[in-house]
Amino acid sequence: MFKPAEGPVRLPSGQRYLGLDLGSKTIGLALSDTGHRIASPYQTLARKKFSADAAELQRIVAKEGVAALVLGLPVNMDGTEGPRCQATRAFARNISQLMPLPIALWDERMSTMAVQRMMTDEADLSRARRAELVDKLAASYILQSYLDWVGGQPT
């Protein structure tokens, strides 16, 4: 049975984390560098059936040397978990049966809002361009906050 990582998932240098921002229609992806300092937007997958999504993720994991997944957990602002958290936990449970990688669930509160604000206020991107970028940028925001946390944890 799937059990999310309790503490920080530490990878040896040379391996990568893949961050996921799971939406109902898309999955935003971000990839860490091999030194675990920088998260970069990778791509946005249009959601299909779980088997097709999982096959594409397996291809990316193999191609990019990914050794751990970081899934954004959409906790409510009051700290409770709703249906979206349940869906994320179910996705993690199902993907763990196909890929024996450590999976960390990371509180993603405010990530999409922060990315939207940055794209509107600072980058002045059009609505169409924001829609195209928001998921992979949110995944990058989630993964970067996780990398910053792991880097600050005692070994």
Q: Where are the domains of the chain?
A: 16-152
Nearest in space to 29 (alpha carbons), one of 37, 39, 18:
18
The proportion of the chain whose per-residue pLDDT surpasses 90, expressed as a percent, equals 55
Q: Got the DSSP string for 17-70? A: EEEEEE-SSEEEEEEE-TTSS-EEEEEEEEP--HHHHHHHHHHHHHHHTEEEEE
Decide: 4 and 24 in contact? Cβ < 8 Å: no
Specify the higher pLDDT residue, 101 or 113: 101
Residues 53 and 102: beta-carbon distance below 8 Å: no
> Token pair of 116, please?
């939207």
Q: Which CATH architecture has domain 16-152?
A: 2-Layer Sandwich (3.30)
Q: Which residues pair with 46 in a beta bridge?
A: 26
If DSSP codes are grouped into helix, strand and coil, which group holds residue 147?
Answer: helix
Q: What is the pTM of this model?
A: 0.84
CA-CA distance, 132 to 7, in Å (whole number)? 33
Residues forming beta bridges with residue 17, ordered by sequence position: 68
3 vs 151, residue with greater confidence: 151
Task: State the pLDDT at residue 147.
Answer: 95
- 107 pLDDT band, cuts 50/70/90, is confident
Phi and psi, residue 37, nearest 5°: -110, -30
pLDDT, tens digit (0-9, with 9 covering 90-100), for 18-66: 999 998 899 999 999 999 999 999 999 999 999 999 999 999 999 999 9
Structure-token match 């921002």, residue found:
21
pLDDT band at 137 (very low <50, low <70, confident <90, very high): confident
Q: Which residue has the higher pLDDT, 79 or 24?
A: 24
